[in-house]
């Protein structure tokens, strides 16, 4: 079969609880100095969708359906 998709190159660094906005926000980094904030269902970098935001991990999927990946909280 086809090779698996490459790993999603994002690091999950924290969760922001926004009392004035609905829901929690995941904070992620690409390791090149860029940070991203996303809620469940949001699209990140035009390539990934945040499927689930847990207390210690996020689940992301490629928009083209090639696969999913769980990224654990790194705290970095």
The pLDDT mean for the chain works out to: 90
HSE value, Cβ hemisphere, 13 Å, CA-based, for 40: 11
- Whole-number pLDDT of residue 74: 78
Tens of pLDDT, residues 3-24:
888 999 999 999 998 776 677 9
Concatenate the DSSP letters of all residues of 19-76 into one string: TTSSSEEEEEE-SSS-EEEE-TT-EETTTEEEEEE-SSEEEEEETTSS-EEEEEB---
């Amino acid at each position: 079969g086809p090779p698996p998709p490459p790993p999603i190159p994002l690091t999950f660094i924290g969760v922001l609880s926004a009392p004035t906005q609905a829901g929690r926000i995941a904070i992620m980094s690409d390791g090149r100095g860029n940070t991203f904030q996303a809620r469940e269902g949001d699209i990140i970098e035009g390539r990934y969708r945040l499927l689930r935001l847990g207390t210690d991990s996020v689940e992301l999927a490629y928009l083209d359906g090639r696969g999913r990946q769980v990224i654990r909280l790194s705290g970095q």
